[in-house]
Amino acid sequence: MSVLKDIVVEDASDILSNRNPNHDMISGLLFNGSITPEGLKYHTIFRLASSEDAEKLGITEAYDSHEQSAYYQIKQYFRLNPVGDLYIMVTDETSFEGVARNAKKMQELARGEIRQMALIFSGEATFDDTKCAIQEAQLQADKAYADHMPFEVLIEGKGFAEVYSKGVLELDDLADCNASNVSVVIAMDADATLIYSNTAAVGMALGAVSYAKVSENIVWAEQFNLLGKGFLNPGFIGGAEITSKEELEVLNQRRYVFARKHIGLPGLYFNDSHTATSGISDVAYIENNRTIHKAVRLVHKALLPKLNASILVNTKGILALSIIKGLEGLCRKALRHMVSSREISTFDIFIDPSQHILANSKLQLKVEITPIGTARKIVVDVNFKNPFRLKELELVTNKMLQS
C-alpha cells in the first residue's frame, strides 16, 4: 500500500533536551455558545488583535450569560498580553468533551498556526466531565502533533468546587491522566465567581503563556504578575476559597494550576506550569512542551525541501559524508536562533551513517535539546557572622593546640 511521503519528527521527550511575536504567541480560544447577528458563526475561525475585535463580532459583556465566559476570557487574555494574537471559534457542542473534540479542527482552520489553545464550556459540567475533556484534548493534541502542528491545551477544571468541598484529598491526582499536553486551570477571581459560577481564568493563563518565551515559566514572579482588573482576589473555580498553605501544597503536588500570593511581594502569581502528567517527565511543564514544539516545527521546516531528494551512498550503502554534513547544517541553522534567544541551552544532532536508506527509503536524524533551567525553589542559608566571636574561638583553639 502506498503511503503519503512526509517528514516525521518524532517526540523524543525523554531527551528533552526573543519569542517570535508573529508565531510563538499565536493562541486559540475554543468554546461553545450562540452565534451573533454581528457575524459570529459556528465552526468558523476569527482572528482577534484586541477585545474590541471581539465586540465587533457581538461578543460583549452581555454575551456572557448562562455559564458563558468567552468575553471574560478574551478580556483577560489581552490584559496579560496586550499585543496578543488570538483565534476564536464557537461550536454548537453540548458537552465539554464535545468542545475538546473540535480542537484539531480549529488548528486545521488556522493552518496550524496556533501554539496554545484554551478550552471553555458553557453548561453544567462535573469534574468527571472535565476528566473526559482532558483525555479528548490530549487525543486532539496527539493527532495535531502527528500532522506537524503541535499545540498546548489549557482547560478549565469544571466541577472542581464540588469535589473540593468534600476535602482536598478527594481531588484527583492529575498525573494519573497522562495528558502531557494539557494543563488544568482552577484559578479564578473570587469576586467574579458571583457571575461565573463554574468558570476558571483560562484566558488569563493563555495570555501569560502566549506572552512568555517558549522557555519561560509563567510563574516567574518578576515577569508575570496576574493582579489586575478582572483578577483582584485569588480563589478557585466555583467560588471555593483558598484556606491554607497545606491545602495549596496538595493542589500543587496534584498538578493543578492556580493563583497564589507571595509573602513580601505584592501581586498575584501562578503556582506552576504543570501539565496533567507525571512530575518527573520531561514534558511535565508547559514551557518544556512549547520548547519541544518550537524545535520540532523549525527542524521540520528546514528539512521539508529535502523530502524525496537524492541521497548519495558509498559502495557499502553508507551515507556519504557530504549528505550528513549538509543535513546537520540545515538543522543547526534552524536551531541556532533558539540558543541565542535563550530558549534552549544547547543542542546536538546525530545522523547514523550506517542506516540502510536503500532498504527502506527512510533517513533518520536524532536531535537532542538541552532546555533552559527554571529556579522553582531558591534555598538560602542565613547565619550570623560575628567577628568578635570568631576571634574568641580562634584564641581558644590556639590555647588547646599549645597544651
Per-residue pLDDT of the chain (403 residues), as tens digits, is: 444 445 555 444 443 334 444 699 999 999 999 999 999 999 999 999 999 999 999 999 999 998 899 999 999 999 999 999 999 999 999 999 999 999 999 999 999 999 999 999 999 999 999 999 999 999 999 999 999 999 999 999 999 999 999 999 999 999 999 999 999 999 999 999 989 999 999 999 999 999 999 999 999 999 999 999 999 999 999 888 787 899 999 999 999 999 999 999 999 999 999 999 999 998 999 999 999 999 999 999 999 998 878 778 877 778 888 888 999 999 999 999 999 999 988 989 888 888 888 778 888 888 888 888 765 444 555 555 555 555 666 666 666 666 6
User: Same structural domain for residues 279 and 312?
Assistant: no
* Count of domains forming the chain: 2
234-236 and 259-262 beta bridge pairing:
unpaired
User: Same structural domain for residues 233 and 315?
Assistant: no
Residue 251 within a domain = yes
User: Taking the mean position of all CA atoms in its chain, how far away is CA 166?
Assistant: 29
User: Same structural domain for residues 282 and 342?
Assistant: no
Query: Do the Cβ atoms of 131 and 171 come closer than 8 Å?
Result: no
Global confidence as pTM? 0.87
User: Same structural domain for residues 274 and 336?
Assistant: no
Residue 320 within a domain = yes
Residue 96 CA neighbour count, 13 Å, CB half: 27
Beta bridge partners of 152: 116
Which strand (E) or helix (H) includes residue 395? helix 387-402
Q: Which three cell numbers stand for residue 319?
A: 551515507
User: Same structural domain for residues 238 and 134?
Assistant: yes
Task: Please name which of 238, 239, 281, 251 lies closest in space to residue 171, comparing C-alpha atoms.
Answer: 251
User: Same structural domain for residues 179 and 313?
Assistant: no
User: Same structural domain for residues 42 and 163?
Assistant: yes
Residue 211 within a domain = yes
Query: Do the Cβ atoms of 126 and 160 come closer than 8 Å?
Result: no
CA distances to 23, 149, 325, 327, 328 from 349, in Å: 24, 22, 10, 9, 6
**Which range of residues forms the domain containing residue 226?**
18-288
Residue 338 within a domain = yes
User: Same structural domain for residues 281 and 313?
Assistant: no
Q: Which residues contact 144 (CB under 8 A, 6 or more apart)?
A: 103, 104, 107, 112, 150, 151
Residue 139's Cβ-count burial label (10 Å; 0-12, 13-18, 19+) is: middle
Handedness of CA 209, 215, 216, 218 (dihedral sign): positive
User: Same structural domain for residues 235 and 347?
Assistant: no
